[in-house]
Structures are given as C-alpha cells and as structure tokens.
Amino acid sequence: MDNLLNNKRVLVTGGAGFIGSALIETLLELGNEVVCLDNFATGKRANLAGFTENSDFRLIEGDIRNPDDCRKAAEGVNLVLHQAALGSVPRSVKDPVTTNDVNGGGFLNMIIAARDAGVKRFVYASSSAVYGDHPALPKHEENTGNPLSPYAVTKKLNELYAKVFGELYGMETIGLRYFNVFGRRQDPEGEYAAVIPRFVKALIEHRSPVIFGDGSQTRDFTYIENVVQANLRAASTTNTEAYNTAFNVACGERVTLNELFSFLRGGLADFDPGIAGINPVYTESRKGDIPHSLASIEKTSQLLGYSTEFNLQQGLAHSVKWYWERLK
C-alpha cells in the first residue's frame, strides 16, 4: 500500500468490524494515530486484539446514536472514516426502525460532531444498494433508481446529508459505494452473515450452503484491500472535483452466485478433498435483494486514482486460506 496518509489523527467509526479493523491496521502501519468508536453490536473485540497495546491506538466504546459519544470521538481528529452501520438488507427488512436509528440518525450525529470539531474531511461508507431498481449495467454513480430496502434508503440518506453538509458548512465529504466487500475477519456466524464467509464455513463443516434464488444473480465482489485503498485515496485526495460526491468501490467484474460457490469449493478442496463433492441447496429469493450488480470504476479511477489491486480470484484465494486456518 502506498503511503497515502501519515502523521494524522484519524477517527474510524465501526472500527471493530471487518472493514474498520482493516482500515485501522493499515493506518497504524502508515504512522497515524487512530481513534476507534464502536459499540460492539456487530463488531468483534477480537478484531482489535492486535492494536490494543499500540500507543497510537485509542478505543472509545460508544454508540453513534449517542451524540455525546460522537463528540468525544471527534475531538482533536484530522479526519473521519465513518464505517459504523447496521449492514444487511434482510436485517433492515425485518427491523427497519433500528436500521434507520443507526444508519440514519447515527450518521447525522457523527457528521454534526465532525463539523463542530472542525473536521473538514469526512469519508463514509455508502453502498451499491443505492442503485435499487435501476436496470443499467454497469452501475454509474449518476444513475440511481428507487431503493428496494430500508437499508438502501438509509445509505441514500447518508449521501444526501453528506452533500448538504459539504455545501452548507464547507466540509469535504466523500462517499464510497461498496460492492459486496469480503476478506479477512468478516464474520461467518449469525443470521445475517455475508455470502462468502457463510459459504466457506458451511463447506469447511461439510454442510451444503444455502443459495437464495437459483444462483444466477450476479455480484461485483470486492476484496478488502481494494476498499482500504479507496478509503486512503479518499482521505488524502486534493482533487476538489472529488468532494461532496460518491464513488463506486469495486472490481468492475461480476460473477454469479453459482460460479462463486464453485470457486470457493475448489479452493477449499485443495485443503480438504472431501469438500469437492458438496453441492449447494436452493431456496426462495430474499425480499429487497438486487438481482444483478456490476460497477463502473471509471469515475473512482479518474478522480481518486483508484485501481483494482486484487481481482476476485486473488481475493478469494487469500480469504479461503485465512478462514481455513481459523475455522478448521
């Protein structure tokens, strides 16, 4: 990773999550001080275990729904990487109130705290979910459709608030629309586990993973190191055209869930040949899921200098090895 950012004091909200902890890891390696704000609702203390003895790391156990916690965390920082959120479309369909409280109200609390603390640069996690029912592929940032889930509504709301705060208060806000991020530390447990760790865990345990729908739906899966790079570039850019807008963070290639399953099964079979004979089981599609997703990364490349450092196969190989060593 290029030394895009150093000697800064950076607040990472949701730092105990798998994306947040990857950001903290790299920020510390590059010589920054890091403040982490997390309430451990979905984040894991184990994800922070490697940082707690580092004098440049500070943990604030708090909740973005609490304005006082946000103000405390923002005090004295140079920039904010806002990752804290309740993910999962199905979770938002089941419990839209909590999703809105965290992703909507919590976002507003955090950006207000950053503004009041004099923090100009506010980089935040948006989502490919904002594209909703817009049919065009690949997805270009200027063309979004109607949201298909409460989660998508909250991410669209984040982008609206960020643009308004940039225009009204002179902040430099940059949204990153993540496309199906995966990689080390992504939690395979629970009802709302993401598809890759869920598939991997089932295969390691010699169980048949569940595919919702017929497996023909496509996704642009994005390895965690690409996401870290995008955040660093957004945090350090001096290109004023990049301010107060949103960017796709993806590989710019898509794969069906059936193909994804085959890749994972093949990778794990190298460790355990018995996995090669396992097949998935299929069930009905989930409400709110987008059938197809593919990003254009042209704008992100032009304005932020982003490039795909890890393609899907490279990312899957790293991830399979990581999970095998920890779950077997």
User: What burial letters (b/e) apply to 115-142, b meaning 16+ CB within 10 Å?
Assistant: bebebbbbbbbbbbbbbbeeeeebbebe
**The two three-digit tokens of residue 295, written as one number:** 């990003």
Is-catalytic flag, 124? no
- Which of 191, 188, 220 lies closest to 204, judged by CA? 188
**The two three-digit tokens of residue 103, written as one number:** 């992703």
Mind giving me the DSSP string for 111-132? HHHHHHTT--EEEEEEEGGGGT
Catalytic residue among 151, 223, 243, 306: 151
- Which of 136, 129, 126, 253 lies closest to 177, judged by CA? 126
Q: How many Å apart are CA 322 and CA 328, to the nearest integer?
A: 10
CB 294 within 8 A of CB 139: yes
Mind giving me the DSSP string for 2-35? -----S-EEEEETTTSHHHHHHHHHHHHTT-EEE
- Which of 160, 137, 135 lies closest to 148, judged by CA? 135
Residues tagged active-site: 151
